[in-house]
Structure 1
Amino acid sequence: MDRPNEPGDTAEVACAPLPLSVQAGPMNHAIVRVARLHRMLAAQLLRRVGLHPAQELVMMQLWDYGPQRQVDLVRMLGSDAATMTRTVKRLEHAGFVRRKPSPTDKRATIIEATPASQAVRRQIEDIWAELETATAAGLTPDQQAEALKALQQIENSLARAAFSGPHQDCRPDGP
């Protein structure tokens, strides 16, 4: 049975007018709203396989590139050490990864996907396809390409500002 919309429902919040306090930064506000809704939908979809947002990114990295040092996962996924440690512990507890000492560096830990994780790989790929479809709904292929280009430019601008120094763009194809 459908229930009436209540104050604070997602649809109402997503379409709410811009608060006066953020009028100086409408793009910032839009990015925050879009990121929040994207993460909320990702969480709903990933719940099917018992994962939380960002855990699937660790799994994808391990499936695509094989066992890696935890510090490399931190660097590749733009995480921090504490968050990655918690993520790996949760994935290990779920049986999707195992940790082992590095054979060449006693300080490093190698993270590898378990055979059990392969059982959810296709489901996670399907979830990402579903999330992509929902994200791009209503956009033509040209609009999707334009949106990707704009997002890459925004990411590069933010990366330059965050690192406040010369560095390469975040994407190999640049702005």
Structure 2
Amino acid sequence: MSATHDTVSHALARVARVHRAAAGQLLRSLGLHPGQELLMMQLWDHGPQPQAQLIERLGLDASTVTRMVQRLEQAGFVRRRRSDTDRRAVLVEATAAAQALQEQVVQAWRELEELTLRGLDDSERAGLAELLSRVEGNLGRLG
């Protein structure tokens, strides 16, 4: 493997780590951990949904989403209940407390986006988004 590939892979790992840390810092005051806001955004955007659908939409393994839902439930942000139409399915829904957080989470996400892209012009931002999308596609082919 060439040094360029090593450098890019290490850079991606470092960026992912500091991005997650920055997200954590912004979300901590809201009572959320990084990744939990993505689950909450799914619920805010699509309403109550089966836990299996959240697993699929988030692209995470079942045990990770189960732990995330349990922690959000303990914090009072989601509740789980059996589906009225499919008793085997567990629906996850946002609580009133979570609904009250929505705008603050959106604002934290905007702040993270601006912090992440600070100093990049519109063309660079678009180019970065395109490149990251392609990299994601490349890596997604492994699974």
* Structure 1 length-normalised TM: 0.78
CA distance in 1, matches of 2:44, 2:77: 11
User: How high is the TM-score relative to the length of structure 2?
Assistant: 0.95
Q: Does 1:105 align with 2:101?
A: no
Shift of 1:27: 1.2
Report the structure, 1 or 2, having the larger helix content: 2
- In 2, distance between residues paired with 1:78 and 1:48? 26
Equivalent in 90, 93, 97 of residue 74 of structure 2: 93
**Which of 22, 29, 52 is the aligned partner of 1:48?**
29
- Between the aligned residues of both structures, percent identity stands at 51
Per the TM alignment, residue 107 of structure 1 is displaced from its structure 2 partner at its CA by 2.0
Structure 1 residue 81 and structure 2 residue 49: aligned? Answer: no
Cα distance in 1 for residues equivalent to 2:87 and 2:46: 22
* CA positional deviation for 1:44: 0.6
Structure 2 residues not aligned, in runs of 5+: none
**CA deviation after TM superposition for structure 1 residue 48, in Å:** 1.0
The amino acid across from 1:114 in the alignment is T
Where do 4+ consecutive residues of structure 1 move more than 4 Å? none
Tell which structure's C-alpha radius of gyration is larger.
Answer: 1
Deviation at 1:116, TM superposition (A): 1.3
Q: Which residue of 1 aligns with 2:52?
A: 71
Secondary structure at the counterpart of residue 92 of structure 2: strand
Q: Distance in 1 between matches of 2:101 and 2:50?
A: 22
Structure 1 residue 142: deviation in Å?
0.4
* SS of equivalent residue, structure 1 residue 107: coil
Matched, 1:139 2:120: yes
Q: Which has the higher contact order (CA 8 A, sep 6+)?
A: 2
Instruction: Tell me the number of residue pairs that the alignment of Structure 1 and Structure 2 aligns.
Output: 141
Distance 1:157 1:103 in 2: 40
Out of 128, 134, 142, the position equivalent to 2:109 is 128
What is the identity, as a one-letter code, of the residue corresponding to 2:131?
A
Deviation at 1:93, TM superposition (A): 0.9
The Cα offsets for residues 48-107 of structure 1, whole Å up to 9 and x where unpaired, read as: 101000100011000000000001000000111111111001111111111000122222
Task: State yes or no: 1:33 paired with 2:17.
Answer: no
1:143-158 maps to which residues of 2 (within 5 A)? 143-158=124-139
- 5+ residue gaps, structure 1, are 1-21, 164-175
